[in-house]
Amino acid sequence: MLKILDRYIIKTFFGPFFFIFSVLFFIFIVNIIWVQLGQFMGKGLSYWQILKLLFYLGVSVISMVLPLTILLASIMSFGEFGERYELAAMKAAGISLTRVMMPLLGVVTIMSVMLYFFSNNIIPDFQRKAKNMLFNIAQTKPALNFTPGQFIDQIPGYMVKFDKIYGENGENIEGVFVHRKATTFENQQSIVAEKGKFVQAANKNYLKLVLYNGYVFEDNFAGKGENVRLKQPDQAIKFDTLVSHFDVSEIINKAIEKEQITDDYRFQTYTELNKTIDNNKKDNTKFFTNISNDALNQANSVVTYMDVNNKSKAVAKPQIKLDTIKSDKKLEIIYNAYNRLDNLKSVLDSKNNELSPTIKYYSKMVIYQQRIVSYSFTCIIFFLIGASLGSIIRKGGMGLPVIIAIVIFIIFYVMNVAIENVAWSGKINPYLAAWVPNLILFPFGVWMTYKALTDSQLFDAEKYKALLKPITKRFAKKNTEHKRYQ
């Protein structure tokens, strides 16, 4: 059963915790809005649909928000204890700092376990919903990508402009201009219409556009000479109704980041990712074997043309010295050898380009899986750092503690991104890459805890001035005043 002191410490911690969590979650959501909202706002989606999509996308940031919240809340809580001399009173009563930290360490451990289950079971489901929603938006609302009054080249091969877009789903348009992109020697076509309407086509990869009261301007230039093209009269065809189909499969693929909507590794739990990683590893082994065999075969084919017609493999021909060959023949041998080596280099470069995406995808899967667990340990490490720093600096509020916490988090984030990029290139094991930031910060957290337990004056400026005094004294100017009176 919790004692009165434990309840007080936990209550003090959760005060800033909920406030900081709300602020940080809002900041991360704003970042998502800044990146995503421009392509949806004012283009046919209701506010409820936009909020739902942002919520689905924002749930995944909790795995990053919670460790930072724990860091900030622990610094502020223990800083307030020190600022109000409550830590000093506890120590005077025989209560050590370790005893003060124990109830919150238990709470943070529970949060870490909850974060693991949240990242493992809930976040994948919300990511699946977000991706499916993006996919459905791209299929059912292709007009989202259009802005009234502007020339848009979203449809591959066409330039379009609509003066007005309206309707419940943005399906009605007015002032239509559609121009097919073509070179000077291809058929040119432009369509102008008073109004039109987007209609869902039978094939979801196509956009069906029905136009009313307009003209088709077309010039048949393809396959004709310049003189004929100069004499070609302009052709204008008036229509009452015109139905056009546009291939928008590229837009759909772009909306879902060219991923299979059901097989993304981010939709899987830790256990499911184990199977996916094993299968991917087996496929990669076969792929690498095939590539290495192709490269070896190409390397073995780099032989001098003198041995190409040699059908007898029993007796090897003696090596030929270039000095004994005529100059013309020598240049021919060198030229052929150079061409073969150049071809081999091109093959190796192409094989290397094939390897890079495979290694990067495998590293992404492994790092994503390991971070389901590693971020939970980050919460405990950040608590050790935050509680120790708070008890040392003895400052509460939103001033110095916030600055220190942000600096620590930026260091953690930069390490995450840097090590991740190195792992994507295949220069470090991805399993290790996911844990490197924790492995670096954990000794720092232990050291900070030791400093806090020993009442170290870590931020005492006078202490550092005393340490640097012998060095600064050498460069200081000597006081020669009143030397004549000495």
pLDDT at residue 72 greater than cutoff 50: yes
Query: For 168-218, what is each residue's pLDDT tens digit?
Result: 777 788 999 888 877 666 677 888 999 998 887 776 667 788 899 998 887
Please give the mean pLDDT across all residues of the chain. Answer: 76
pLDDT of res. 450: 86
pLDDT at residue 471 greater than cutoff 90: no
Residue 132 or 481, more confident: 132
pLDDT band at 347 (very low <50, low <70, confident <90, very high): low
pLDDT band at 309 (very low <50, low <70, confident <90, very high): very low
pLDDT band at 258 (very low <50, low <70, confident <90, very high): very low
Residue 172 or 466, more confident: 172
pLDDT band at 109 (very low <50, low <70, confident <90, very high): very high
Query: For 369-423, what is each residue's pLDDT tens digit?
Result: 899 999 999 999 999 998 888 888 877 666 677 788 888 888 988 998 899 888 8
pLDDT at residue 479 greater than cutoff 80: no
pLDDT of res. 325: 66
pLDDT (mean) for 457-467:
61
pLDDT band at 256 (very low <50, low <70, confident <90, very high): very low
Residue 299 or 120, more confident: 120
pLDDT (mean) for 19-27:
88
pLDDT (mean) for 218-243:
71
pLDDT at residue 313 greater than cutoff 50: no
* Least confident window among 32-41, 190-199, 209-218, 273-282: 32-41
pLDDT of res. 147: 74
Residue 101 or 202, more confident: 101
- Full 3-state SS string of the chain: CCCHHHHHHHHHHHHHHHHHHHHHHHHHHHHHHHHHHHHCCCCCCCHHHHHHHHHHHHHHHHHHHHHHHHHHHHHHHHHHHHHCCHHHHHHHCCCCHHHHHHHHHHHHHHHHHHHHHHHHHHHHHHHHHHHHHHHHHHHHCHHHHCCCCCCECCCCCEEEEEEEEECCCCCEEEEEEEEECCCCCCCEEEEEEEEEEEEECCCCCEEEEEEEEEEEEEECCCCCCHHHHHHCCCEEEEEEEEEEEEECHHHHHHHCCCCCCCCCHHHCCHHHHHHHHHHHHHHHHHHHHHHHHHHHHHHHCCCCHHHCCCCCCCCCCCCCCHHHCCHHHHHHHHHHHHHHHHHHHHHHHHHHHHHHHHHHHHHHHHHHHHHHHHHHHHHHHHHHHHHHHHHHHCCCCCCHHHHHHHHHHHHHHHHHHHHHHHHHCCCCCHHHHHHHHHHHHHHHHHHHHHHHHCCCCCCCHHHHHHHHHHHHHHHCCCCCCCHHHC
pLDDT at residue 80 greater than cutoff 80: yes
pLDDT of res. 404: 80
pLDDT of res. 379: 92
pLDDT (mean) for 6-29:
87
pLDDT at residue 143 greater than cutoff 50: no
pLDDT of res. 285: 78
* Least confident window among 204-208, 224-228, 364-368: 224-228
pLDDT (mean) for 72-99:
84
pLDDT of res. 306: 41
pLDDT of res. 260: 44
pLDDT at residue 448 greater than cutoff 60: yes
pLDDT at residue 275 greater than cutoff 80: yes
pLDDT at residue 113 greater than cutoff 90: yes
Percent of the chain clearing pLDDT 70 (strictly above)? 69
Residue 79 or 294, more confident: 79
pLDDT (mean) for 245-251:
69
pLDDT of res. 303: 47
